[in-house]
Amino acid sequence: MPDKKFSVVIAGGGSTYTPGIVLTLLDNLDKFPIRSLKFYDNDGERQQKIADACAIMIKERAPEIEFLATTNPAEGFTDVDFVMAQIRVGKYEMREKDEKIPLKHGVVGQETTGPGGIAYGLRSIGGVLELIDYMEKYSPNAWMLNYSNPAAIVAVATNRLRPKSKIINICDMPIGIMDRMAKILKLDSYKELDFDYYGLNHFGWWTAVRDKKGNNLMPQLQAYVREHGYILPDESGTEKSWRETFEMAKNVYALDPETLPNTYLKYYLYPQEVVKHSDPNHTRTDEIRLGREKFVFEECAKITESGTAANSAFKSDEHASYIIDLCRAIAYNTKERMLVITPNKGAVENLDSDTMVEIPCLIGANGPEPLAQGKIPRFQKGLIEEQNSVENLVVDAWTEGSYTKLWQALSLSKIVPDAGLAKIILDELVEANKDYWPELKIGRPEPVLS
């Protein structure tokens, strides 16, 4: 491998994923050598708590790496090769509203899907475009690997509004599911699987899973999923809401036994079942505040207070290893076959060319090269075209400042059963997001229903 060492900035350094990413970077310096690691965030206090602990991790494991945390974009984005973006515009305070406002009206309240995902998308577009502009101003040759959600809407927006920018939008849900497939097949890693997959982000299907000898593994996986979904014999470390999600995959699978589904399809195909199992007063954000967020900040405080990360409970994770694989593919032009979100350009024969599809691509120095996935069935085509229209209407609403387009997006979503209900939810979301959304000047009819 060439002996270049890379410079990375994590945008959203205060993210709960940051310690796992730092640890994974430190575990992979032989594969992906780095000379400089920076954190950038617009909440310096949150970020500093994570940075203080990560500084100790880096000092103990790789003291040669230059490390800093900053809220100054010039400092954060100058002289970087890769931007790992994982911001949450509005933070958990707004995610909680994304989840609880729709649920109050008996509609799915979720981070990246339905009204919650639309509200989050309208917040995220400006935040991610700002990161791209910083990157292009201070390090014009850098690549951005964006995890910031909702990746589907962010991908439509960045493709439309920054079409030439060096950004790849990614998701670790398919990786998480293929990790489970590997365990079901008693294999060591998802990397032992070859696969074909198509869809939008959080809205896709596997059409093929093979081993490295080319053997078809779909029948074995489908027989398992038909009975168990993606639930494994040992789920001791899995949170209740995630166990429900992995179990419901069998209900989604039942709708098309020829494929294997992404877990997120449950929100679109079984919204009533999801609402039935939801508590409008205790949602995923509440679980995270008591779980991941509490663990991460307590663990960081322990490291900072003790001055060592020697016995830290932090672990490398798939969230991070995927990003590093992507950086390597770009840095060394490896043409590795990876699942990313990219303009369709005919890869799915019967979808519009500009649809932002999540499909296998060859990743190299010039970004993704989509791999043809052929013609898709009427069922998936219908679902995808509807959801793709929702996502494009959200970007229209952002660019035009259009209340009407946003109301159309909510009304078109498979998750919202009625345009009058969509408007009631929308008006509450407009109020809740007044500090984040662009002003929606165009069209704001009087209430439809008395």
What residue numbers does the annotated binding site cover?
A: 95, 149, 171, 202, 284
Least distance in Å: CB of 226 to ligand LEZUNG72?
A: 22
The one-letter code for the residue type at 106 is: G
Distance CA 176, CA 246 (A): 11
Stretch binding ligand NAD (CB under 6 A), from 141-149, 376-384, 404-412, 425-433: 141-149
CA 352, 354, 359, 363 torsion-angle sign: positive
Structure tokens at 1: 């491998």
DSSP 40: E
Residues 262-321 that bind ligand NAD (CB under 6 A): 319
3-state DSSP assignment of residue 148: coil
Positions at the binding site for Mn(2+): 171, 202
Stretch binding ligand LEZUNG72 (CB under 6 A), from 7-15, 172-180, 265-273, 397-405: 172-180
Distance CA 294, CA 49 (A): 12
87 binds, among ligand LEZUNG72, Mn ion, ligand NAD, none (CB under 5 to 8 A by kind): ligand NAD
3-state DSSP assignment of residue 345: coil
Site string for ligand LEZUNG72, 312-351 (x = CB under 6 A): ------xx--------------------------------
Which residue in this structure is represented by tokens 């387009």? 405
Structure tokens at 137: 């101003």
Cβ proximity to ligand LEZUNG72: between 109 and 176 the closer is: 176
Q: What is the helix (H) or strand (E) element at residue 196, kind and residue range? A: strand 193-200
Stretch binding ligand NAD (CB under 6 A), from 57-65, 83-91, 340-348, 442-450: 83-91
DSSP 278: -
Is residue 88 involved in binding ligand NAD (CB under 6 A)? yes
Is residue 98 involved in binding ligand LEZUNG72 (CB under 6 A)? no
Distance CA 72, CA 63 (A): 24
Is residue 149 involved in binding ligand LEZUNG72 (CB under 6 A)? yes
Beta pairing, strands 143-146 & 82-85 = parallel
State which residue has the least CB distance to ligand LEZUNG72.
176
Instruction: Give catalytic status of residue 264 as yes or no.
Output: yes
Residue 202's Cα: distance from chain center in Å?
8
Among 9, 37, 53, 173, binds ligand LEZUNG72 (CB under 6 A): 173
Is there a contact between 96 and 104 (Cβ–Cβ < 8 Å)?
no
Instruction: Return all residues near 174 (Cβ < 8 A) that are at least 6 apart.
Output: 197, 204, 262, 339, 358
284 binds, among ligand NAD, ligand LEZUNG72, Mn ion, none (CB under 5 to 8 A by kind): ligand LEZUNG72
Among 172, 325, 391, 396, binds ligand LEZUNG72 (CB under 6 A): 172
Is residue 284 involved in binding ligand LEZUNG72 (CB under 6 A)? yes
DSSP states of 179-231: HHHHHHTT-S-GGGEEEEEEEETTEEEEEEEEETT--B-HHHHHHHHHHHTT-
Instruction: Give catalytic status of residue 279 as yes or no.
Output: no
Question: What is the side-by-side order of every strand in the sheet holding 260-261?
Answer: 193-200, 203-211, 260-261
Is residue 166 involved in binding ligand LEZUNG72 (CB under 6 A)? no
Q: Which residues of the chain form contacts with Mn ion (CB under 5 A)?
A: 171, 173
Residues that bind ligand LEZUNG72 (CB under 6 A): 111-112, 149, 171-173, 176, 284, 288, 318-319
Active-site residues, by number, are 172, 264
Note the residues at the interface with ligand NAD (CB under 6 A). 11-12, 14-17, 41-43, 46-47, 86-89, 91-92, 127, 147-149, 151, 170-173, 319
